[in-house]
Chain A
Amino acid sequence: AQSVTQLDSQVPVFEEAPVELRCNYSSSVSVYLFWYVQYPNQGLQLLLKYLSGSTLVKGINGFEAEFNKSQTSFHLRKPSVHISDTAEYFCAVMENNAGNMLTFGGGTRLMVKP
């Protein structure tokens, strides 16, 4: 069965600084990878996804992520964050034989300071 680890529970960063949120997964089969964002008092919103092809994927709000198969990682990055990026970010994995079932990591709270 797959599992997802988000190593940092909280990441504080100053506005306009770059940020990387780390995600590692484990699986014995090929996977599809997702990042979701949750703003306060809201549900989860899809940021970006990796299904196949180019390992660098771009999403909404200027975020991007890179799939690294050898390191089983899918880290999320943004070159310059805004106050409005303050939220909880979840990495998720779906095995290609899992019947469309998503497994989520524990989440990383990104706190952007002025």
Chain B
Amino acid sequence: GQSLEQPSEVTAVEGAIVQINCTYQTSGFYGLSWYQQHDGGAPTFLSYNALDGLEETGRFSSFLSRSDSYGYLLLQELQMKDSASYFCAVSPAAGKLIFGQGTELSVKP
């Protein structure tokens, strides 16, 4: 089967850096994605890693280590608007996404 583990909640202050970890177990692996969701709205794609290493997109970076079945999302220069739920998701097969339970990020002034 497939399973993902990520912290349920994280709190940080404006301007800080926060890292959200994700470990996974899956029978197949195409890649690890990260999505942001505000107040139960549409999940928004943030980043995708198919190969080991770091992917950087503006203030957001994502890292993958396939040998460790581990990845993380790094958010820099935190802003109040970054308060949201963040989901990691693995693709065990082409097109299919298995989501973690989500991490609730609270950014404080």
**Chain A complexes with chain B:** no
A residues at B contact (CB < 8 Å): none
